[in-house]
Amino acid sequence: MIINGVEIRDTFAEAFPMVGTRLIVTADTPEWALTAGRTTTGFATSVIGCGCEAGIERTLAPEETPDGRPGVSLLIFAMDFKSLKSVVPLRLGQCVLTCPTTACYAGVEGGKRVPLAKTIRYFADGHQISKKIGDKRFWRLPVMEGEFVCDEDTGSVEGVGGGNFLILAHTRGAALKAAEAAVAAMTKVEGVILPFPGGIVRSGSKVGSKYKGLFASTNDAYCPTLRGTVPSQLPAEVGSVMEIVIDGFSFEAVAEATRVGIAAVCALGVEGGVVAIDAGNYGGNLGPFHFKLREIMAGDGAANGAGAGT
C-alpha cells in the first residue's frame, strides 16, 4: 500500500491491556489549569520506569466543566487497578492540591472506584468538610490560599496501552516534522493520550536486553547508526525514525488516533521526506490488541489513490 508516495508496511502495532481513569482539573485561568495538568502528567511516559502513563487529553472550556471554570482533562493509565489506585492519589496530592486555584472532579462515572479526596482529605488534619449532592460526595479542604474542592473518587475503564506507529524518513528534520503533524491531528481524538514528550518517542524500545535486570532496550533494528551492524528494518535512504505511542480508553479510539496520525504524515508525503510507516510488534506475544496498519488505512488509501506495492 502506497499513500502519497509513502509505503504503509504490511504489519501491525501490538498493544496490551491497561486500566485507566480521567480527571477533570479546573482553575481560575486556563494557564493555571494547564500548569496543574502538565505537572500531574509529568514523568509518566512509560510504565517501564514511571509506574504509570499519563497525559493531557484536551483543554476544556468553562461550559464543559463542573464548576464553570477553564480546565483540562487528564488520562492516567496503569497496568492493573491496584497500581492505578496507588498512583492517582499521589499525583493528585502532590500536583493538583498544591497548584493555585485548582479543583478536581471525576471524569469517569462507571467502573471500579479510584480514590481522590477519599484519600487526600486527611491532609486537612480534621478540618475537611464533605457534602453529598445526589449520589456524589465532594470534599472541601482548607488551604492557605482558600480551599480545595475535590470529588471523593472517580471511575475507571479497561483500556489499551502501547498502540504505536513508526515514521521512517530521510532526515531527522523530516521525521520530526511528520511526527509533529501526526501529534497535532491525533490530539483531537477523544479518549486517547500520547504519553511521551510532545507525543513523540525517539528512543523506541524492544522487549529484553543483553543486560540482566533490564526489561527493555533500544530498538536496534530501527536505529540508523546500527545499520550494517545488526539486522536492520531500514532501507538505505532512511536516516531517522520517530515513534508515536498511543494509550486509549478503547480499541476503537486508539485505531482512530492511529488512522488520523498516519494520514497526517502521508499528507506530507514523499516530498516531505517520508519514506514509510511501520509499527512495533513482537509477533503477537506481547499483547492481544493488534492494529493492522493497512486495514486501518484502507479507506484513506482508496481516497488517495493508493495501490499495492513495496
Of 79, 116, 115, nearest in space to 96 by CA: 116
Which pTM was predicted? 0.93
Residue 247 Cα distances to 54, 138, 184, 288, 310, angstroms: 9, 29, 16, 14, 29
Residues in contact with 32: Cβ distance below 8 Å, sequence separation at least 6, in sequence order:
99, 100, 101, 102
Residues in contact with 285: Cβ distance below 8 Å, sequence separation at least 6, in sequence order:
none
What is the pLDDT at residue 310? 28
Q: Which three cell numbers stand for residue 289?
A: 490488541
Say if residues 46 and 195 touch (Cβ distance below 8 Å).
yes
What is the pLDDT at residue 208? 87
Low-confidence residues of the chain: pLDDT under 70: 301-310
The structural domains of the chain, with segments of one domain joined by +, span: 2-15+160-303, 17-157
What is the pLDDT at residue 283? 82
H/E stretch holding 256: helix 251-268
Residues in contact with 61: Cβ distance below 8 Å, sequence separation at least 6, in sequence order:
70
What CATH number was assigned to the domain covering residues 2-15+160-303?
Answer: 3.30.70.520
Distance CA 233, CA 46 (A): 24
What is the pLDDT at residue 301? 57
Is 2-15+160-303's fold the same as 17-157's?
yes
Dihedral angle sign, alpha carbons of residues 86, 87, 89, 90: positive
Domain 17-157: which CATH class? alpha beta
Three-state DSSP string of 105-158: EECCCCCCCEECHHHHHHHHCCCCEEEEECCEEEEEEEECCEEEEEECEECCEE
